[in-house]
Amino acid sequence: MSGPGEKKSPKGPRSLWSDGWSRFRKNRMGMAGAVIVGIFYLIAALAPVLTTHDPVEQGDIPRMRYHAPNQQHLLGTDKFGRDVLTRILYGARISLLISFIAVAIAAVLGSAVGAAAGYIGGIVDAVLMRIVDGLLAIPRIFLLLTCISLFSGSVWLIIVLLGLTSWMETARLVRGQVLSLKGMEFIQAAEALGVGGRRIVLRHLIPNTLTVIIVAATLRIGRIILIEAALSFLGLGVPQPTPSWGQMIFSGRDVLLSAWWVSTFPGVAIAVTVIGYNLFGDGLRDAFDPRQYV
């Protein structure tokens, strides 16, 4: 994720971004997380090239179903004779797509609400923050289940719902940052030069909170992947036959003892991805901690 504040820095002078980046590179766990995340995106992008089987096409079911991992099917086959490895690789696409876009929606919406509340203050702040409190009080999984069962499930519905239910924490975070930045002299100096309110928010406040927003978003991606898996496991996630990790675990639950590979490998994929994102996010937080601003 790169934000508008991320400029190609010229040689010589170092921006906060390049400073933070060089701190990040020294953080081994963070780098490991970044590599894991990078690999998953690569896999997702290259899934058709890396796989030899079709993710959706059902094979000769009686003959092909529940093959244990072998040379032909490195991670075995599922109930419909489909290659588990292939489906995991394609599943990466859907998991990463859903989590990335949902978090992007949440980050934009949360930043906008938080910045507006913090900068305008007064009644606007009070109203927006009470809305946030209210939404945080609704158990998300029930909200999601209700909405998905009311409207027929589709990938985009899930993305939008996940995005709309996870912006509140970002809003709080950004509001806090904006409140503390608002009192800083450079904001007053900008106002003294005749900079208007919208420009102050977009050019002076948001770029100064961008690292916080990105760190929060990265950590949130892991959680969104888990929620999406949970929804799919409940049968309300990505509709069949599109491969999704949660739904693959779900489909293997009956045969967990006899054909353990059907559920286990997608589970491992989820765990590794989420751990990767969390390590990456923690590393980013250490590198771009706003308290290290000079």
The residues of the shown chain that bind another protein, judged by CB under 8 A, are 5, 10, 12-16, 122, 184-186, 188-196, 203-204, 207-208, 210, 293-294
Nearer to another protein, 208 or 278 (CB): 208
Nearer to another protein, 150 or 192 (CB): 192
Closest approach, Cβ 195 to another protein, in A, equals 6
- Cα–Cα nearest to 157, from 104, 107, 102, 113: 102
Q: What are phi and psi of 290, to 5 degrees?
A: -60, -20
Q: Which residues pair with 77 in a beta bridge?
A: 83
Q: What are phi and psi of 79, to 5 degrees?
A: -55, -35
- 161-198 core/surface letters (b: 16 or more CB in 10 A; e: else): bbbbbbbbbbbbbbbebbeebbeeeebeebeeeeeeee
Nearer to another protein, 47 or 210 (CB): 210
Closest approach, Cβ 187 to another protein, in A, equals 8
Neighbours of 67 (CB within 10 A): 19
Nearer to another protein, 129 or 231 (CB): 129
Closest approach, Cβ 189 to another protein, in A, equals 4
Closest approach, Cβ 194 to another protein, in A, equals 4
Residue 294: DSSP 8-state = -
Nearer to another protein, 97 or 195 (CB): 195
Closest approach, Cβ 123 to another protein, in A, equals 12
Task: Report the alpha-carbon distance of residue 199 to residue 106 in Å, rounded.
Answer: 22
Closest approach, Cβ 18 to another protein, in A, equals 10
Are residues 204 and 192 in contact, defined by beta-carbon separation less than 8 angstroms?
Answer: no
Amino acid making up residue 30: G
Nearer to another protein, 160 or 195 (CB): 195
**What separation in angstroms does the CA of 255 have from each of 69, 249, 258, 263?**
15, 10, 5, 9
